[in-house]
Amino acid sequence: MKVTKAQAQANRAHIVETASTLFRERGYDGVGIADLMAVAGFTHGGFYKHFGSKADLLAEAATCGFAQSAAKAEGANAAEVVKQYLSREHRDARSEGCTMAALSGDAARQPESIKAAFADGVESLLDTLANQHGAPEGGKEEGDLRARRIDVLAQLIGAIVLSRACPDDSPLADEILDICRTSVLSRLSSPTGG
């Protein structure tokens, strides 16, 4: 039975979403094509009908993960996003969580196409932070606000990475999240952004 063009597109999207979840959970090297396709419900040979290489899939899966993160943050203000992001629930939900926190270390060792997808993802996350924080404060230059958003984003991602590196029941894992959450929320509520 021939697969329609619409079904082929739906199958590809399902493979990308499955890959995005598995990569966040296991890392890029922890997921083989045969395993991925089995989890997605397809044969190994079908992979190459959709993708030229695993690297092509890595870039698309990263983009998918960034879009999922943006969708979760849509409609929330910056403080709500920070509280959710720096929560134990987010920390423990690797496969559903932030692509940046899960895969930045892996992406640094990948081809330029994956690094470009991550750079686009960073820009998207910075735009999301800008939209959630509202209009620029009086007298603040856009460069200063961008620097502030980069600083906040780096602290959010770093806190999740450090917390995940600790044993699951470690008091330190929670302490990292608590301290960084308090710090970021304090800076977000400060009129000077300090």
Span 143-167, pLDDT tens digits:
788 999 999 999 999 999 999 999 9
Residue 191 pLDDT exceeds 70: no
In degrees, rounded to 5, the angle at the alpha carbon of residue 14 between the alpha carbons of residues 13 and 17 is: 85
Q: Which residue has the higher pLDDT, 131 or 112?
A: 112
**pTM, entire model:** 0.87
Indicate the range of 37-41, 75-79, 134-138, 170-174 predicted with least confidence.
Answer: 134-138
What's the confidence (pLDDT) of residue 168?
A: 86
What's the confidence (pLDDT) of residue 1?
A: 66
Give the CATH class of 5-189.
Answer: mainly alpha
Distance CA 112, CA 57 (A): 13
**What whole-number percentage of the chain has pLDDT above 90?**
72
| Mean pLDDT to the nearest integer, 73-100 | 92
Distances from the Cα of 66 to the Cα of 62, 136, 186, angstroms: 6, 25, 26
Residue 50 pLDDT exceeds 60: yes
Residue 82 pLDDT exceeds 70: yes
Spans of all domains in the chain: 5-189
Residue 140 belongs to what H/E stretch?
none
What's the confidence (pLDDT) of residue 77?
A: 87
Buried (b) or exposed (e) across 45-56, using 16+ Cβ within 10 A? eebeebbeebee
Residue 137 pLDDT exceeds 60: no
What's the confidence (pLDDT) of residue 133?
A: 61
